[in-house]
Amino acid sequence: RTAPKYFSPDNDGNDDDLFIELGCQTLAGLKNWSFTIKDRNGKSFWKTSGKSSITKRIIWDGRGNNGEIVQSAEDYPFEFTAYDELGMSSTAQGVINVDVLVVRDGDKLKMQIPSIIFRSNEADFGVRTVDANGKIIKAGITQAQADNNARVLKRVSEILKKFKDYKVTIVGHANRISDNSAEETEEGVWGKALISLSEQRAEYVKSKLVKFGINSSRLSVEGKGGTEPVADRKDTSVNWKNRRVEFILEK
C-alpha cells in the first residue's frame, strides 16, 4: 500500500513524503525481495531490495537513484516482487500518482508539466478516430491522453485559485529534432516553426484554464520552442521532458 493518493514532493509541508507499506506471507521462508518504481519508459527510477526479511515501512522523498526528482503530474508504475526459498515468486503492481508540483524558482513559483499531450504538430487535444477494423481515420491523441490532460489542467486551475495574488505566464516548450536553429522559426522543412507552435499550445492551455474558472486577465502566454531544453533532445528515453508546459507565477 502507498499513501497519500497524490504525492507532491515540492517541500511545501503537504504530502512531501510517500509512505510505502510492504508485506508478504510464505511457509517456505523468504529468500529475497525488491521494490522498483519505474518511469514512463519502463526503466527503473528508484529501487530498494533486501533478503530474508522485508522492510515493512519505507518513506520515499520522490528522488530517483540518480538524485532526480519525480516529474510533475506524472504516473510512476511500481513493482513489488518476493521470492521464497523454493524459487517461487509473487509480484504486486500499482501506480504512484504524482500531484502537480509547485516549486520555488528564485522569487517566482513554477509548475513544470511534461504530461500534457498535444496532437502531433498541432495545438489542440483532438482525439484520434478509428474505423471498425482499427484503422486510424483521423490522427490525434488517445481518449485516455485527452482525459489526463483535462484532469491535470483542472488540478492546475485548483492550485491557481489558491494563489489569487499571482499573475501567471503559460510557457510552451518543444523538443528540437535537428541541430539547425532555423527549426525554431522557419515553417515547412521540419514541420511547423517550434516557437510559434509552442506559443499556440500555450494559448490553447490558457483557453482551457479560463473554462475552469481562471480569470483571463491573470494569464499571459509565451512560446520558447526548443530553445530551453531540460534533457538531451537526441535521447528518446528522456527527450519527452523537453515537450512541456510551464506555469510561472509572479506576485
Concatenated DSSP letters of 159-180: HHHH-TT-EEEEEEE---SSS-
Q: What is the pLDDT of residue 157?
A: 96
Tell me how far apart the alpha carbons of residues 216 and 136 are, in angstroms, rounded to a whole number. Answer: 36
Q: What is the pLDDT of residue 107?
A: 87
Domains in the chain (CATH in brackets) are 2-98 (2.60.40.10), 103-250 (3.30.1330.60)
Q: What is the pLDDT of residue 136?
A: 80
Q: What is the pLDDT of residue 191?
A: 80
Q: What is the pLDDT along the chain (251 residues), one digit of tens a residue?
A: 999 999 999 998 899 999 999 999 999 999 999 999 999 999 999 999 999 899 999 999 999 999 999 999 999 999 999 999 999 999 999 999 999 999 988 889 999 999 999 998 899 999 988 888 878 888 899 999 999 999 999 999 999 999 999 999 999 999 998 888 899 999 877 789 999 999 999 999 999 999 999 999 999 999 999 999 999 999 988 899 999 999 999 98
The grid coordinates of residue 85 equal 526459498
Q: What is the pLDDT of residue 213?
A: 96
193 neighbors 187 (Cβ within 8 angstroms):
yes
Q: What is the pLDDT of residue 190?
A: 74
Helices 143-162 and 194-211 meet at what angle, rounded to 10? 70
The alpha carbons of the chain give a radius of gyration, in whole angstroms, of 21
What's the pTM value of the predicted model, to 2 decimals?
A: 0.86
Q: What is the pLDDT of residue 138?
A: 81
